[in-house]
Chain A
Amino acid sequence: MNNINNLFLKEPKVINIGIKSFAENAQKFTEVIDVNWNPPAWGDNKLADKIAELMEDSTPDSLGSKIKEANEKAFNRLVNSKPTLVDIVPAIEALPGMTENTILHAGAPVDWKNISGPMKGAIIGALIYEGRAENREEAEKLAASGDIEFAPCHSKNAVGPMAGIISPSMPVWVVRNDDFGNFGYATMNEGWGKTLRFGAYNDNVIERLHWMEETLAEAMKVVIKRLEGVNLKSIIGKAVQMGDECHNRDIAATNLFFKKIIPELVKSSFPADKTEEVISFLGKHDHFFLNLGMAASKAGLVAAHNIPYSTMVTAIARNGVEVGIKVSGMEDEWFTEEAPIPEGLYFPGYSKKDANRDLGDSAIMETGGLGAFAMASAPAIVQFVGGTTKDAEKYTKEMFKITLGKNTNYGMPTMAFKGVPTGIDIIKIVDKNILPIVNTGIAHKEPGHGLVGAGVSRMPKGCFLKAIERFVDKYNG
């Protein structure tokens, strides 16, 4: 314990913030660390004061100590979560409060009239798939009529990549968080290119959705039953060691999942012709695991949500118009800000001009410590973040500065098996002026086109500033 008497007896060891020559002069007499200081809170000194009040404090019963304890609890619940795939069932059966007229979407709540192009396309496709409309015109009319109830996937503990549309008949993965008893849900991933989640709704897209419902989901149900559940945590852990960050790169996780389920499918009485279809679909599909990872991440974050005084982020989600975040100690409030257009690499013929604003619930991967946060472990896709493995490492190191700890279940071989940076803290974000980064796909801004590129996106600071202000009002008002 440091006290004045100790200072008098021992040599001062100095941290210098500010004038450099102070550090240089003290350095001639003792050990000094000079901080490369920048004004915190993006230069808002009043907010900097508020942040300092919230910071960790050893004084018992102080606000700082309550926040610290709450954050430890939230972090521990997240990293101790054991997501297990236990079933696949139609959304209307799995999700509480889901009706025939419910359509779930990515991100925070958004009105039909403000909805982004790709999300609009995906809703059109979902209504056609559900048999509620024959074509785009009918679907748009129905969507605008008020008969369809739109809600965020997150409101039902579900998550959906990109547009994230979940309609009542779509099968959803049911992921149970074993020790905590809560669930996370997601649809199955359709593949790459022109797909519903990127806003495409042509006949191929609709046909594929029907096949997934009638054949793929049935096959998955058979294998899950035979395996008595699939431990997703262990697949993610291995995949990180095999070079996946489990968001933009899921090839290892997908292969591990494939390896686990295919023998069971082949051994089962599932029809041989359909088995062949399933194998051939999964065999061509490098991202199939993404949605399972997302449901797993969501299941862990649900367990960490609703802990009073916690400043840990429990959801980051983009609806194509705004980025929204949730904070553990702030109940179900969304804190939103206009979504950025991702920085990325575009397929030939497309450019940033065609890109929609950032979209999708898949940022749940970063919220859970994976994706861009684990970039150092995914050298194969480092070119999305600027081209070199050093850049990737830099991103991961930067994310350590805004997270509560390391998830040692997911060790990164390239970083001496250090655990991934986990548990985004809004206090650290504002104190250090560092915004979370998210790996992402890029959708065309008009309905019907699909995927145009992939890249990274910095979450806008407005979400975190709003969350901090509200947190202060609530707990230090």
Chain B
Amino acid sequence: MNSKKKRRLAFVAALLLAGAGVAGVIVYGLGQNTMYFRSPSDVAAKMVGEGVAFRLGGLVEQGSVQRGAGAEVRFRVTDGKSSVPADFHGVLPALFREGQGVVATGAMNASGTFVANEVLAKHDEKYMPPEVVDALKRSGRWQEGAQ
């Protein structure tokens, strides 16, 4: 009986230890790997450091898209108040358009340009990423039903 109880105790202790280990790994992982969402106004307010990865969301500014000789594309992301120049090397999603919502992942470089390593596709013409809606609302440029 006694040895059975001991074994049970060892078992529970091992499980608790495993649970604590997993919790530790999760907390550490979250601390290292969360990415913030920022609007162009946030960038203008110097809320992001150089080289720190974040997600930039807003509208692709009208007339700002320039295509390079290869697969380079340069455009500006705006929330109506501020706008940020962005560079991207790659094939843009099919729904990428001037005046449409966009979310890009990347970081600011030394010269104040956002270097995107991923431009997220909107899946639907009618659909605007909630983060972008939020950014536009904050800058006062959001009109219900203006879509």
Partners in one complex: no
Residues of A within 8 A of B (CB): none
